[in-house]
Amino acid sequence: MPKIDLGFTGTKEFAFAFTDVSYISLDPAQLSHVIAGLSTAGIPRSMVEEGRLHVAYEYAYANELVMSRADRKGFSKDISGDVGAYIKVGVEGSVAVSNSSTVSFKNAKGESAAFAYKAGRLALEENQWVMYPEEVVTKALGEFPAPFIPQPAVVLWADTNGALE
């Protein structure tokens, strides 16, 4: 079971950095042939009518998340000998003390994690799907609060040539 006790840091303000970053992107225009034949079977009608369907078309991935004190001072306790007493990330992750003011987190399997993306809203207009890049809706049509966090759904992987897997 994951746990985190940040009492060892001596602060409540932190700085985070992503390292070993990679990026994958598709031009939204490359998705037009995919969304043209989109079936909404199994998706609640209200989601379609309210414009709450989205397509993510750019992702940034990182192999490591680095956390340090925002003031760049050292932690108030040295946890290098027993980091597991303060932070447990489970079997899927690993945590390491980089130095007296920095802790790093990685996926134990060496896989990257997505930390940023761009998405576009899908709308059914005159029986045709239209995508509005960088436009998102989380409530009723027309409301564009930020930030938008997508819910897990069916994901199609597309390569840079626009072919779906």
Give residue limits of the domains in the chain.
Answer: 3-133
In three-state secondary structure terms, 132 is strand
- Asked if residue 28 has a cis previous peptide bond (ω within 30° of 0), the answer is no
Q: Which of 8, 55, 65, 52 shows the shortest CA–CA distance to 28?
A: 55
Structure confidence by residue, pLDDT tens digits, 101-140: 899 998 878 788 878 888 888 888 888 888 888 877 655 5
pTM over 0.85: no
Separation between Cα atoms, residue 158 and residue 160, nearest integer Å: 7
The DSSP 8-state label assigned to residue 27 in this structure reads: -
- Asked if residue 147 has a cis previous peptide bond (ω within 30° of 0), the answer is yes
Separation between Cα atoms, residue 131 and residue 31, nearest integer Å: 9
